Amino acid sequence: MFDLEKAKIAIIGLGYVGLPLAVEFSKKIFTIGFDIDERRISELEKGYDRTFEIEDNVLSSDTVNLKYSSNIQDTKDCNIYIITVPTPIDDANQPDLEPLIKSSRTVGSVLSKNDVVIYESTVYPGVTEEICVPELEKSSGMKYNKDFFCGYSPERVNPGDKNHTIASIVKVTAGSTPEVAQYVDDLYNQIVVAGTHPASSIKVAEASKVIENTQRDVNIALINELALIFNQMGIDTNEVIDAAATKWNFNKLVPGLVGGHCIGVDPYYLTYKAQELGYQPNIILSSRQINNGMSKYIANQTVKEMIKAGKAIKNSNILILGLAFKEDCPDIRNSKVVDIINELKNCGANINIYDPWVNLSQESELYSNFLTNNPLDSDKRYDAIVVAVAHKQFKSYNSKNYKKMLDGDGVIIDIKNIVDNPTWRL
């Protein structure tokens, strides 16, 4: 019933996860990349990836095994559907499953007998079978594990990371029956050189993914709290970490902002389910509170250092270097740099943002009043510079560059530990 030689794959959602996955599978199996964003499809057909995850020359090559479409009917001949849509949170930090629900309905409308639907989106345990499967059944008119089947294989990509690619990261796999589980595992072994780790159930696979980022969030929160303590003591946190890291079992992390669509979001999926079951996840929620508070803390330190330097805050000019949630990546989803900007704006400062990775025209609606071109090419001077993201371009800046951008005794706030002798460092 399940034959890889007859496989045709549809990847649902062509973002940071879906597009690289589609490219990898197309090297072995006929693949259709589906996305509701018609502009995205048009760009990909022209060989351009706005996320910079795939080189343009790869996309523009004549690959007969990879097609793109914004019409779900074009995927009707496929028998494997892999859903890679985002799973965000709402303003109340509650899971927003709408993209997952809508994509399940869309896929259900084209399902055929014995098709397999695989989810890669990060969720709390139970979402695939308790939320998504009913939507597939409703829109397809078919029965789960009788007419169609499901799998789960959580994504593990790291946006902007060219070393840890899909093929080089062990893939957790699971299926709704033992036979499907083997089929899903065999499928991913077609492209994952590092191998796979079959989980005993879809729920176990779901749980394994959500705790990966939860663990990292908790660990970073500890380092951030230590940074707050050491700053009160007048001790350089990074020096402390370097010293402690000389012990073989010390987990070396650095303080900073925790944003993006994974680490700053996924723990809320787990805490939501835990609280629904009557358990209060104190450590996880406390870690979220610490990490969410870092932007305000950094903004306050910026104001303090400016006042020390004799700078008036109201109508001051502040340059923010970096808007993306991480280095060498254009992704601004859930970027905590935005919170720093808002705090400083509320103090009456005039803000300019420079990020060479972020497309000004694409983000103009939200940031047109703040985004600027390379400040080194301008005569404008700033009362403060906040180095918020460790883009490779910013790592190349030297003291002369900063002197050119600063107005007299302006201050430099270094969040990423990439500036020599800043005014203040996190």
Active site residues: 262
**Exposed, middle or buried, 198 (CB in 10 Å: 0-12/13-18/19+)?**
middle
Could you give the maximum distance between any two Cα atoms of the chain, in Å? 75
Residue 425 has φ and ψ, to the nearest 5°, of: -125, 140
CA 121 to CA 201: how far, in whole Å? 16
Contacting residues for 356 by C-beta, under 8 A, at least 6 apart: 374, 391, 393
Q: Which CA distances in Å does 221 have to 198, 217, 284, 292?
A: 31, 6, 9, 9
Residue 42 has φ and ψ, to the nearest 5°, of: -60, -40
CA 104 to CA 73: how far, in whole Å? 14
Q: Which CA distances in Å does 79 have to 3, 26, 76, 112, 298?
A: 10, 15, 8, 7, 50
CA 385 to CA 183: how far, in whole Å? 53
Provide DSSP, 57-73. Answer: HHHTS--TTEEEES-GG
Would strands 66-69 and 31-34 be described as parallel, antiparallel, or unpaired?
parallel
Task: Provide the β-strand partners of residue 96.
Answer: none
CA 130 to CA 372: how far, in whole Å? 46
CA 236 to CA 221: how far, in whole Å? 17
Residue 340, token pair as written in the block: 């720093």
Q: Which residue has the tokens 């406390």?
A: 286
Contact status, residue 283 vs residue 218, Cβ threshold 8 Å: yes
> In 190-347, at which residue ranges do the beta strands (DSSP E only) sit?
196-198, 317-321
Instruction: Give the three-class secondary structure for 18.
Output: helix
**Residue 259: which region, alpha, beta or left (left: phi > 0; alpha: psi -120 to 50)?**
beta
